[in-house]
Amino acid sequence: MKYAFFLIQTEDRKGLLATISDFFYTRGFNILRCQQYTDLHENKYYMRVKLDLTDLTVTRAQLEKNFSDLAEELNLKWSIQYSDQVPRMAIMVSKTSHCLYDLLVHHQENDLFCEIPLIISNHPDLEHVADKFKIPYYCCPLKKGEKTQQELEVRDLLKKNHIDLIVLARYMQILSNDFIENFEGGIINIHHAFLPAFKGGSPYKQAWEHGVKMIGATAHYATCDLDEGPIIEQDVERITHELVPDDLKRIGKDIERRVLTRAVKAHLDNRLIVSGRRSIVFPN
């Protein structure tokens, strides 16, 4: 079966649901799933529609044109994805492999709907992981004072590979605003703490010193405000006083990998709409 996913946001008002569902009904579509959320706080309306394309009697271009007319009329912000257009995801890493492994294993087991044409790193260390899964590994080292140059190199690789989504799987470098703006909404990062606690470096050491009783991890879209982009997923684990910072790091690795993989999956499943600082994550 083939599907289309519509993601829609607009000002809330009467009749949106009736009008939009009528659009699909009168065209003979079967709505397999319709998820909505009305933010009464900010008077906004969000909608995700999963459409069965079996009965599509017009071209996709025509469908999009027709919906585009409706969207203009209703002032909808929208996007569409098709289940037979496989997104292309790049993974960026530095030296730690746990998040990279988790993405590759889930991909291998068909739990992540995407292609992974390349892995990019500022270090050569993880080439062996890429090799295991037969994915090209590009090492773009960061020499002092040559960050702009290195980022251009990376952007060139991303462009040549037609990348739709960049996942920072413990890429320990701060990307320039220029880089981020160029891929806005298309970069997912994992931060190894329960944001907004413990921003910045060495969060597990910070956590230990604070004597917190749980540690966590946060996956979020990267924006120009470091560690402040829309949060996609978080999780925590209970810890005890007996654990030293190295234990926290080890336990944290398991939290990070599952948080990042879940966030990437939500993005690839077209279940995510961003609105300001907040992200709407429709349940699976």
C-alpha dist (Å) from residue 250 to 155, 172, 239, 247: 32, 17, 12, 5
Instruction: State the minimum distance, in angstroms, from the CB of residue 173 to its own copies.
Output: 21
Indicate which residue of 227, 235, 247, 254 is catalytic: 227
CB 91 within 8 A of CB 110: no
CB 275 within 8 A of CB 9: yes
Nearer to its own copies, 165 or 255 (CB): 255
Nearer to its own copies, 26 or 75 (CB): 26
Q: In the window 253-272, what residues touch its own copies (CB under 8 A)?
A: 253-254, 258
CB 161 within 8 A of CB 114: no
Q: Does 233 bind its own copies (CB under 8 A)?
A: yes
Instruction: State the minimum distance, in angstroms, from the CB of residue 41 to its own copies.
Output: 5
Among the candidate windows 12-20, 57-65, 113-121, 148-156, which touches its own copies by CB under 8 A?
Answer: 12-20
Token pair recorded at residue 73: 């009329």
CB 148 within 8 A of CB 172: no
Q: Does 72 bind its own copies (CB under 8 A)?
A: no
Among the candidate windows 3-11, 145-153, 157-165, 246-254, which touches its own copies by CB under 8 A?
Answer: 246-254
Instruction: State the minimum distance, in angstroms, from the CB of residue 129 to its own copies.
Output: 9
Q: Does 190 bind its own copies (CB under 8 A)?
A: no
Q: Which of 3, 10, 31, 269 binds its own copies (CB under 8 A)?
A: 31
Is 227 one of the catalytic residues?
yes
Contacts (Cβ under 8 Å, ≥6 apart) of 221: 185, 187, 188, 189, 229, 230, 232, 274, 279
Q: Does 27 bind its own copies (CB under 8 A)?
A: no
Which single residue is written with the structure tokens 């309306």?
A: 45
Q: Does 198 bind its own copies (CB under 8 A)?
A: yes
Half-sphere exposure for 100 (CA within 13 Å, toward CB) = 25
Q: Does 188 bind its own copies (CB under 8 A)?
A: no
Q: Which of 2, 17, 54, 160 binds its own copies (CB under 8 A)?
A: 17
Q: Does 144 bind its own copies (CB under 8 A)?
A: no
Cα diameter, the chain: 64
Q: Does 241 bind its own copies (CB under 8 A)?
A: yes
Q: Which of 61, 73, 201, 211 binds its own copies (CB under 8 A)?
A: 211
Contacts (Cβ under 8 Å, ≥6 apart) of 233: 218, 219, 259, 260, 262, 263, 266, 281
Catalytic residues: 227
